[in-house]
Structure formats: structure tokens, C-alpha cells
A = this chain, B = another copy of it.
Amino acid sequence: METIKKNLTERRSRSMIQITDPRIEGYLMKLQPEDDAQILAMEEKAREMKFPIIDRLVGRFLHLLTRLKQPKLVVELGSGFGYSALWFARALGEGAKVVLTEYAEKNIAYARQMFEEEGLADKAEFRVGNALEIGQEYDNIDILFIDIDKYQYPAALEAMLPRLAQNALVIADNTLWYGRVVEENSNKDSEAVKRFNELMFSRSDFFTTIVPLRDGVLLSYRI
């Protein structure tokens, strides 16, 4: 949580590139009204707590990718209080599940409550602890979602590669890191994000692309 809060403050205080024109983002949000009570409650909570969650447009995108992929097992590295996990879970078929990983017990408790209210608790495993350590307990992961501290991205990839199913999809958020990947002044986080992107694109056993949706969503499909 401390790291998360620090990151959020950093993001807001530093100059950033506006990746997408705000009028376009406004149009997209207006087209896609949301009436799901749990989704709206989580968004409200994130605003109140200034807690970083994925954008709703990213959530909808994850949801659609999950419907296309029809995975049996989704593992999230870095779940916060479960907002992205809920978008995954709502797209899962019979017998499939999403594993949430998060340091803060109270975040996981809140996630569990939201999942129960939505009737989706049987589609999730709620795990408290180190995301990388927990992630490596799983095998045949169909979708790996990476959204932990940015400096950990390259290490997460290395640790999790042996855990992926054939034809797995790796999804990573913040891979444009508020545009800092193209800025001169870099720090530990932006260097790590750049290295992670280069690692993924250099692998011939994955087909990789980045979609400039909000803060940049990397998609990498294991061939």
C-alpha cells in the first residue's frame, strides 16, 4: 500500500504526456455507461481513497479479451482491491477462475465481499502475500495479468514464464507509463517498463503488441 500511494502521488506530480486526446476519452466513456453496482462501488472507493485501479476502458477491454480467449485460469499479479479481477471474473466460463494476489489483507477482504455480492466468489481465489511468490504456485496459466510495482515487471516475466500454458496470453498494464517511456528523464520504474517491453518484443515465441489504451496495455500471445 505504501508503495502504491507513493507511486500514485509521483504519477500525478510529474509532467506526463497525454497519450489519448481527452475529448476522445470522454466520447468513449459516454458510449459505455455502466450500471453494475459492484463496479460502480469500486470506482467510487478508488476515487475516495485515491487508490490506483485500472481504468474502466481497460476493464472492458480485459473483459472482451477474456471472452475471446475463454481461459480456465487467470492469474493476476497485483490485484489491489479486486477491480480488474471483477472484470475478468465476469467474463469467465464454467469452472474457470481468477487468482487475486495482494499484500494488504483489507484489500483482499473487500474484494471478496464485492465478489460475493456479485455472486462470483466461486470464480476466484483470494490470496494475501507476495504476488510473485504466490503466482509461481500455479501452472498452465492461460492469462497472466501483470499490474504490480513497475520496477518488478522484468522479474515477474522471468519468474512466470515457466508457469504459462501453451497459447497463454500475457497482459501488462501501464506499459507506456504515462508516456515516460519516451521521455529523457527516466527513473527506476520507467527504465524497468522499457526493459520489460523490449524483453517481450524480442521474444520470437510470443507475438506482442501494445495498445495505447489509457496507460498502454501490452498483449503478448504465446505462439
Known: A201-B32, A213-B211, A213-B213. A64 touches B24 (CB 8 A): no
Report whether A179 and B64 are in contact in the complex, using a CB–CB cutoff of 8 Å: no
Instruction: Bin the interface of chain A by size.
Output: 35 or more
Interface residues of A in 54-75 (CB under 8 A from B): 57, 60-61, 63-65, 67-69
Chain copies in the assembly? 2
**Binding stretch for chain B, among A14-22, A96-104, A125-133, A152-160:** A14-22
A146 CB to closest chain B CB, in angstroms?
17
Interface residues of A in 151-181 (CB under 8 A from B): 167, 169, 176, 179, 181
Residues of B within 8 A of A67 (CB): 167, 207, 221, 223
Known: A18-B21, A21-B17, A182-B26. A207 touches B64 (CB 8 A): yes
Nearest-neighbor residue (CB-CB) of A59 within chain B: B209
- The verdict on A28 contacting chain B, using a C-beta distance below 8 Å, is yes
Q: In whole angstroms, how far apart are the Cα atoms of A19 and B212 in the complex? A: 10
A136 CB to closest chain B CB, in angstroms?
25
Report whether B69 and A179 are in contact in the complex, using a CB–CB cutoff of 8 Å: no
Report whether B19 and A209 are in contact in the complex, using a CB–CB cutoff of 8 Å: no
**A residues within 8 Å of B by Cβ?**
17-21, 23-28, 31-32, 57, 60-61, 63-65, 67-69, 167, 169, 176, 179, 181-182, 197-198, 201, 207-213, 216, 219, 221, 223
Could you list 17 A-B pairs, sorted by A, with CB under 8 Å?
Answer: A17-B21, A17-B23, A19-B21, A20-B212, A21-B179, A24-B176, A24-B179, A24-B212, A26-B182, A27-B176, A27-B182, A32-B208, A67-B207, A67-B223, A68-B69, A211-B211, A211-B213
